[in-house]
């Protein structure tokens, strides 16, 4: 299975709203926990390790790149 990085959500605005609503009333630790549980549920649904590893690598690279872009050098 190849990771699809193209826009693929049928209702992106509804998804984003539901994602934000999922965190309502939670403290930081609970919010991190619900994110972790969501990741594990979706990983189980995908099932393919290579696809999951590709997604993890892309997510980490994007995060590191964003951090480096906002960190003053020297």
Q: What is the pLDDT of residue 73?
A: 74
Q: Which of 11, 8, 33 is nearest to 22 (CA)?
A: 33
Give the global pTM: 0.82
User: What are the residues whose beta carbons fall under 8 Å from the beta carbon of 50, sequence distance 6 or more?
Assistant: 1
Domain residue ranges of the chain, discontinuous segments joined by +: 47-74
pLDDT in tens, the chain (74 residues): 899 999 999 999 999 999 999 999 999 999 999 999 999 999 999 999 999 999 999 999 999 999 899 888 75
Between CA 38 and CA 28 the distance in angstroms is 15
């Amino acid at each position: 299975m190849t990771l699809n990085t193209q826009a693929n959500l049928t209702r992106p605005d509804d998804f984003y709203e539901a994602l934000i609503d999922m965190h309502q009333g939670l403290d930081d630790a609970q919010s991190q926990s619900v994110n972790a549980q969501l990741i594990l549920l979706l990983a189980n649904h995908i099932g393919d390790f290579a696809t999951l590893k590709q997604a993890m690598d892309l997510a980490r690279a994007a995060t590191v790149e964003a951090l480096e872009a906002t960190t003053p050098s020297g």
